Structure 1
Amino acid sequence: MFEQLEGSKAVAKAVARCRPRVIAAYPISPQTHIVEALSDFVRDGELTGCEYLMVESEFGAMSACIGASGVGARTYTATASQGLLFMTEALFNASGLGLPIVMTVANRAIGAPINIWNDHSDSMSQRDSGWVQLFAASNQEAVDLHVQAFVLAERLSLPVMVCMDGFVLTHAVEDVDLPEQDQVDAFLPPFVPRQRLDPRDPITIGSMVGPEAFTEVRYLMHDQQLAALDELPRIAADFQAAFGRDSGGLVHPYRTEDADVVVVALGSVLGGVNEVVDALREEGVAAGSLGISCYRPWPADAVREAIGSARTVVVVERAFAPGVGGVVSQDVRLALRPLAAPGPAVYDVVAGLGGRPVTRTALRRLLDDVVAGRLDPHGLHFLDLDHDLLERAGTPWRGTS
């Protein structure tokens, strides 16, 4: 049923229809409306059989989720930015214990300086924490990914983050096709945990592991992540059959079949990217785009197949590693490494940090420069960089943009 909803409220309704037994959360912008709505649903009886825990911090939220999931409850939380960083120790514990917790990350910049607006610095900082990371390009996809995330998490006993752009999606009001309760119940079976702490049948999880077995434990985590690469397309296909929408999976190619230039991106920026691709196509430029829906585990084979025979790849990313450069671009290069030399030129383009708009005009100017050979494929580029501001700060620009 279509409803005109704020993105946060739509996600909250989708999560509620997944029937979590425990929700533990601490508010932080721009995630707050999600957990506020879920709190209202529990209070008003719209979400029954669920215990809502008002905790003292994000670390407390994830710790409570670990305990709840450990005793066999379907468990959910949400956070953003510094809140995600405050959870870091517990994030590694959740993945190391193989607990199928689902968490929304309303992507937001990390301070200092303080910035509450959108980029992907928060979830990218946790890319090696052992959590599956799914990125939504729209509010509809955010809704759909949460339903699929619970299926994946519980099928493989893995924690899953669903990342949606803070404010850009969380606070945008638009029509969303919300799955009905009976549809979700049919798609998402009751949770049967692989392991469960029960005083009547005591076991220990998370005990000390020495050098003789720690490598093997970590390999098992890696193997479970790789299993998600096989499982996600199956879940997406089942979702499409059940709900009539192509949502989720690993990647979303757009007009890449014969593309010479492919733009790779994650999240809501893909809408503008695809409009620029269409405009370039009308002018005879063979452009395409590749949306990454699953960032961790990294779908290298799917990325390589989608890029195909393109000669140029432009990676537009909302985070970067200071002192190194692009984050996603390095994964793209890893995916393309098996191709015969020299392979496509890969451009690293950092855009939209701290909520700066990534406009169609700026994207078009970027792609025009790439096609015309005005950008160095070996450099790090910043979209709409303010050179005057850098000069006033006493730091000259050391590259091209």
Structure 2
Amino acid sequence: MEYKPIRKVVSGNYAAAYAVKHARVQVVAAYPITPQTSIIEKIAEFIANGETDIQYVPVESEHSAMAATIGASATGARAFTATAAQGLALMHEMLHWASGARLPIVMVDVNRAMAPPWSVWDDQTDSLAQRDTGWMQFYAENNQEVYDGVLMSYKIAETVNVPVMVVESAFILSHTYDVVEMIPQELVDEFLPPRKPLYTLTDFDNPVSVGALATPNDYYEFRYKLAKAHEDAKKVIKDVGKEFGERFGRDYSSMIETGYIDDADFVFMGMGSLMGTVKQAVDILREEGYRVGYAKVRWFRPFPKEELEAIAESVKGIAVLDRNFSFGQEGILFNEAKGALYNTGERPLMKDYIVGLGGRDFTVPDVKAIAADMKAIIEKGELDREVEWYHLKR
């Protein structure tokens, strides 16, 4: 399909706000927190200018923002909110309610390091700390993927009835401007029709209760069904990503985007904006004779185990880049990847590099230095250590 995109120079946060408008979201519950605030400010501007009829609910905290979003979604509305770091942590209880009630909410989390010490810069620990809440998680590399991710997430969420968290980097994306190709409203409407909820609190001819008490036997079944929905979502994610590519020219049919895999000795694996730096470095490294590729994990939940297994079969090593850390263990993506490959026979050598915490710069020279280390590991045939705090002041 050929279409004429609407190109705008916008920040990642504004890209999210435009996607919310184009998705014809009906209710936004909002509470400000840096670096997320400009998302809800832009949405408020759309409402004030008469560009959308979104119902805007100002609340006193992030916990209330998610509670109001849950209430709106339970009535059948298409609902949205956004947050970051401490705000996401305050929502934690309500995230379980949203997924347990099978409500297809979409939320943007602007990755920000958790305090103390106070920080407003990029770090993935806030979103990854919510990995067991039952929410799907999509990590955007750039502003275009923020816009596309919100639109696709509504279609995916409303198909499997599981909420989605679209994750973007603080300041690297949220406040940095880039060209984003937006889709004409009529084409978005064709791709994303109005929500058709399974049940609503406002259907008085068919009354339901949400979140009522369940006995132990029944509770178990609810959890099984949510687990199965995550597994079913893998096919839906690929199908929706393929459809999006066929309609608009940007293909998301893989949960892990790869490059130069066919002849690579090892790959860099990571999530989010740092993978833009990795891609640039990989092009340079290949010119210098390195047989190296990349594997960008787009969807962390559900975890793309099958796609990772296919990558692992073709390479000797995987350098995992974690802009996060699970204290007492290791980087979270590294831990997940190791677990996914545990029963797959011979595994590639895997090393975890902890990078960029709290917004610490992660540059092309850093990637090149890690490549040299990984090459030496493969030539030696064994690891010197599994986890390295790459930026540690020595």
Q: TM-score range by the shorter chain?
A: over 0.9
Equivalences for residues 246-261 of structure 1 within 5 A = 246-247=251-252, 249-261=254-266
Asked if 1 retains the 8 angstrom alpha-carbon contact of 2:354 and 2:391, the reply is no
Contact between 1:265 and 1:315, CA under 8 Å: does it hold in 2? yes
1:24 aligns with 2:68: no
Partner of 2:188 in structure 1? 184
Residues 248 and 293 in structure 1, CA contact (< 8 A), matched pair in contact too: no
One-letter amino acid of the structure 1 residue matched with residue 324 of structure 2: A
2:247 is aligned, of 236, 239, 242, to: 242
Q: What do residues 31-88 of structure 1 show as CA deviations (whole Å, max 9, x unaligned)?
A: 110010001111211112x200011100000000010000100000000000000000
Q: Distance in 1 between matches of 2:47 and 2:252?
A: 28
Give the counterpart letter for 2:144 in structure 1: Q
Question: In the aligned structure 1, how far is the partner of 2:57 from the partner of 2:100?
Answer: 23
Q: Give yes or no for contact 1:257–1:306 (8 Å, CA) kept in 2.
A: no
State the shift of 1:111 in Å: 0.6
Q: Write out per-residue CA displacement over residues 120-165 of structure 1, whole angstroms, 9 at most, x where no aligned residue.
A: 0110000010000000011111110110001011111110000011
Matches of 1:4 and 1:113, distance apart in 2: 34
- CA drift at 1:368: 0.5
Partner of 1:267: 272
Name the residue aligned to 2:288.
283
Q: Does 1:383 align with 2:390?
A: yes
SS of alignment partner, residue 204 of structure 1? coil
Native 8 Å contact 1:318 1:350 kept in 2: yes
Alignment match, 2:331: 326
Take 2:389 and 2:367, find their aligned partners in 1: how far apart are those partners? 11
Is it true that 1:58 corresponds to 2:62 in the alignment? yes
Moved over 4 A (4+): none
Residue 199 of structure 1 and its aligned partner are, at CA, apart by: 6.1
> 1:300, 1:334 within 8 Å by CA — same for their partners in 2?
no
Q: Give the residue type in structure 2 aligned to 1:369.
A: D
Partner of 1:359: 363
| Equivalent residue, structure 2, for 1:71 | 75
Deviations 1:244-293 (A, max 9, x none): 11246411011111211111000011111112211221122210000000
Amino acid at match of 1:149: S
Q: Distance in 1 between matches of 2:160 and 2:47?
A: 28
Q: Aligned partners of 1:285 and 1:229: how far apart in 2? A: 33
Alpha-carbon displacement from aligned partner over 1:336-391 (angstroms, at most 9, x marks no partner)? 223323x201101110000001111111111101212389454311122112xxxx
SS in 2 for 1:314: strand
Alpha-carbon separation, structure 2, partners of 1:264 and 1:241: 27
- 1:114-193 equivalent positions in 2, closer than 5 A: 114-193=118-197
Match of 1:231 among 231, 236, 248: 236
| C-alpha distance in 2 between matches for 1:363 and 1:331 | 22
Amino acid in the other structure paired with 1:381: E
Query: Residues 345 and 377 of structure 1 are in contact (CA less than 8 Å); yes or no, is this contact kept in structure 2?
Result: no
What is the match of residue 200 of structure 2? 196
The 1-side partners of 2:22 and 2:213 are apart by 38
Q: Which amino acid aligns with 2:330?
A: G
Q: Secondary structure at the match of 2:217?
A: coil
Separation in 2 of the partners of 1:58 and 1:249?
Answer: 32
Of all paired residues, the percent bearing the same amino acid is: 37
Contact 1:80–1:107 (8 Å) recurs in 2: yes
Normalising by the residue count of structure 2, what TM-score does the alignment of the two structures yield?
0.95
Paired residue secondary structure (2:80)? strand
Secondary structure in 1 matching 2:204: coil
Residue of structure 2 in register with 1:396 after alignment:
none
Give the alignment partner of residue 293 of structure 1, picking from 280, 293, 298: 298
Letter in 1 for 2:236: E
What is the alpha-carbon distance in structure 1 between the residues aligned to residue 383 and residue 310 of structure 2?
25
Distance 2:97 2:146 in 1: 26
SS at match of 2:345: coil
Q: What residue ranges of structure 2 are gaps of 5+ in the alignment?
A: 1-5
Deviation at 1:179, TM superposition (A): 1.1
Q: Letter of the aligned partner of 1:65 in structure 2?
A: T
CA distance in 2, matches of 1:125, 1:68: 25
- 2:64 and 2:288 mapped to 1: Cα distance? 54
| Number of aligned residues | 385
Which residue identity does 2:302 align to in structure 1? P
* Aligned residue in 2 for 1:110: 114
List per-residue Cα deviations over 1:288-323 (Å, max 9, x = no partner).
000000000101001111343211111001101111
Aligned residue in 2 for 1:87:
91
User: What secondary structure sits across from 1:13 in the alignment?
Assistant: helix
Find the counterpart in structure 1 of residue 344 from structure 2: 339
- Taking the aligned partners of 2:79 and 2:253, their CA distance within structure 1 comes to 21
- Structure 1: how far apart are the matches of 2:332 and 2:391? 19
Task: Out of 239-248 and 33-42, give the one that drifted further.
Answer: 239-248
Deviates more, 1:253-262 or 1:196-205: 196-205
Q: Greater shift after overlay, 204-213 or 139-148?
A: 204-213
